[in-house]
Amino acid sequence: MSKNLISIIGGAGHVGFPLGLAFANKNLYVNLIDLNSRSLKLIKSGKPPFYELGAKKILSKCLADKKIFFSTDLASVKKSKFIIVCIGTPINKRLKPQTKQFFDFFSSLFKHIRKHQIIIIRSSVFPGIVEKISKKFGKINNNISYCPERIVQSKALVELPRLPQIVSGLTKKSVEESSKLFKKICKKILVSNIKEAELIKLFSNSNRYINFAIANQLYLICDKYNVDFKNVRNLMMLGYERNLNLPNSGFSAGPCLLKDTMQLSSFYKGNFSLGLASMRVNESMVDLVIKKIKKIRNFKKKTIGVLGITFKAETDDIRDSLPLNLIKKLKRNKLKVIYTDVYYKDKYCYDFKTLIKKSDIIILGAPHKKYKRVKLPKNKYLIDIWGII
């Protein structure tokens, strides 16, 4: 077992890959373990499997320095002192956390775990699961810690050194060793107990999700009474600090915010009324856009073009994206819809200029910086709930 080797499971994912780069960049050896051999192959060839600010350069350096290794085999954790788990923790169609899947993964993992290794869980988890894992597998090794990831997606390499790292663990050794490890890439370590750490992660995402819902709810009120929300918001914030935390309106979704709000809702046995109301408000922005389209004369004969289909700005990630949900609903309504994106490409994607030319109605889906400067021909309808064009 090598003292300097870290195994990251889910090492080709949005959390695991930049984390691996951050450690490798500090001269530690990193074994990226992932079931997705295609993504591992891309990383091996020097290409990040998704857009991540600054990743390409660091990846080239780490590959040249031979700091990164690759495996699809869980058994390769045997060689590492630290094992960091970054696999997904999805919810199902009924918005319930799939804890069994996560738990089952640990049954496979612990077949390869030895006494002196440190197991760090980094995925956002359903509260209580770390204790449950310890109860079942603690006899093999109880040096388990929970150190949640709190970066904003696609800026991990910028944020990891800046953000304080929450560290919690079941044993003194797991807390000390995990703290020492994260100290190599983060400035500050904050120690908490496990339950606190589990809640801190879910509270952080729920807090953001609820905040976006406040802006969206106020947008809906403005829209009903024909008031410009952007203007109202700007004036609310001007010289008035207590309003500065009001975010912009928009399509608030993605793979984490709704999912973690629903994990919390499940944990609180469905009583998380603020979280549930936020989901209704945020998801209703899609229906608002459809309502706006339906008010346009002859809308059935028009081509609708969506600018940006990723779940937020400056990412190529379309997981749980509301613009995509909108496209699906428009198609179900038998409307002609086309799309383009700065970062995401597939065979149906139009290039920007053709999309503008072909569309009668243009909807801003994802507020990528490039779209802020767009000048649309006068004969096009624009629907921009972000208020940036």
| Binding footprint of ligand NAD on the chain (CB under 6 A) | 9-10, 12-16, 33-36, 39, 86-89, 105, 123-124, 149, 151, 153, 255-256
CB nearer to ligand NAD: give 177 or 198.
Answer: 198
Encode 100-122: b = buried (16+ Cβ within 10 Å), e = exposed. Answer: eebeebbeebbebbeeebbbbbb
CB nearer to ligand NAD: give 16 or 305.
Answer: 16
C-alpha pair distances (Å), 71 with each of 51, 76, 85, 190, 246 = 22, 7, 14, 32, 44
Asked whether 67 and 29 are in contact (CB, 8 A), the reply is: yes
CB nearer to ligand NAD: give 4 or 37.
Answer: 37
Least distance CB 234 / ligand NAD (angstroms): 29
Alpha-carbon span 321 to 214, nearest angstrom: 19
Least distance CB 374 / ligand NAD (angstroms): 27
- C-alpha torsion sign, points 91, 97, 100, 104: positive
CB nearer to ligand NAD: give 92 or 231.
Answer: 92
Closest residue to ligand NAD: CB criterion: 13
What DSSP assignment string belongs to 35-101?
A: S-HHHHHHHHTT--SS--TTHHHHHHHHHHTT-EEEES-GGGGGGEEEEEE-----B-TTS-B-HHH
CB nearer to ligand NAD: give 125 or 327.
Answer: 125
Half-sphere exposure of 131 (CA within 13 A, CB side): 9
CB nearer to ligand NAD: give 158 or 290.
Answer: 158
Least distance CB 91 / ligand NAD (angstroms): 10
The distance in angstroms from the start CA to the end CA of the chain is: 55
CB nearer to ligand NAD: give 89 or 134.
Answer: 89
Asked whether 338 and 298 are in contact (CB, 8 A), the reply is: no
**Sequence-separated (6 or more) residues with CB below 8 Å from residue 156:** 14, 15, 18, 19, 22, 52, 149
Least distance CB 20 / ligand NAD (angstroms): 11
CB nearer to ligand NAD: give 25 or 39.
Answer: 39
State the Rg of the chain over Cα.
Answer: 23
Least distance CB 73 / ligand NAD (angstroms): 9
Per-residue tokens: 246: 């009001």
Least distance CB 319 / ligand NAD (angstroms): 8
Least distance CB 255 / ligand NAD (angstroms): 5
Least distance CB 137 / ligand NAD (angstroms): 15
